[in-house]
Amino acid sequence: MPLKTTITYQGKRFKSLKSLAESQGILKRLWKLQKLVKEGLNIDDAVEKTKINEKDKNIEYDGRNFKTYKALALYLKIETSTLLNRIKKGVPKKNWGDDLITYEIKYKGKTYPSANQLAKELNVTPSTLRKRIRDNWPEDKWGEDPGKLYQIKYKGKNYKSINHLAKSMNIPKRLLKGRIDKGWPEDRWMERDNRIINFQG
């Protein structure tokens, strides 16, 4: 019998990505959701990114519903591009309409005016730095070479990074990382099923 899998989103279980997309009103963009999940993005972020620019989706904010992100941006009196950038960067919903969002950041006791400035100091891209902070990397690893992730053990053998392990398995790094983040058991990391799901046992 084939293994039955379920997808968990916001505490609810769905039998497929299609049923999840249908529940979120993004069935017309199912292809995008499937693509993001296949690339290894976790299901919560994949759904949110699929919703961005979805014209027929109502966006709830401050107890009101808005038909588009453009309409919400007008209400907040900010540019649509600013709103979408804040959503993509994980800015809390309550701060979407702030006049100015400060990105001051502390690193090893020193305060930097922005993540961009710190990234320049560490010689990494701003997007790499923000992702590491979002993923709760230890502060002393923020400036590591992007190719150096965490050392990882697989079937008794140590690999110096997720990149190296993914290469040896011949699967995308993001797919492997997504499986590890979702709690897949080690013996299933190499499966050819490209869906990222919460392991149910």
Give pLDDT, residue 141: 80
In angstroms, the CA 66 to CA 77 distance is 14
Q: Quick check: 9 and 20 in contact, CB under 8 A?
A: yes
Q: Say how far apart CA 150 and CA 144 lie, in whole Å.
A: 10
CA distance 155 to 168: 13
Q: What is the pLDDT of residue 197?
A: 46
C-alpha–C-alpha distance, residues 151 and 138, integer Å: 14
| SS3 at position 148 | coil
Does position 198 have pLDDT exceeding 50, yes or no?
A: no
Q: Are 14 and 7 in contact (CB under 8 A)?
A: yes
With beta carbons less than 8 A apart as the criterion, state whether 22 and 29 touch.
Answer: no
What is the average pLDDT across 113-127? 81
Q: At how many degrees (to 10) do helices 43-51 and 30-38 cross? A: 140
Look up residue 53 and give its amino acid: N
On the CB side of 193, CA atoms within 13 Å amount to 13
Whole-angstrom distance, CA of residue 62 vs CA of residue 70: 16
Q: Which residues pair with 112 in a beta bridge?
A: 105
29-82: pLDDT as tens digits? 889 888 888 888 788 878 877 876 544 457 888 888 888 888 888 888 888 878
What pLDDT was estimated at residue 103? 57
Q: Please, which residues have CB within 8 angstroms of residue 145's CB and are 6 or more apart in sequence?
A: none
3-state DSSP assignment of residue 109: coil
pLDDT of 195 higher than 60 = no
Mean pLDDT of the chain: 77
Alpha helices in the chain (DSSP H): 17-23, 30-38, 43-51, 69-76, 80-88, 115-122, 126-134, 162-169, 173-181
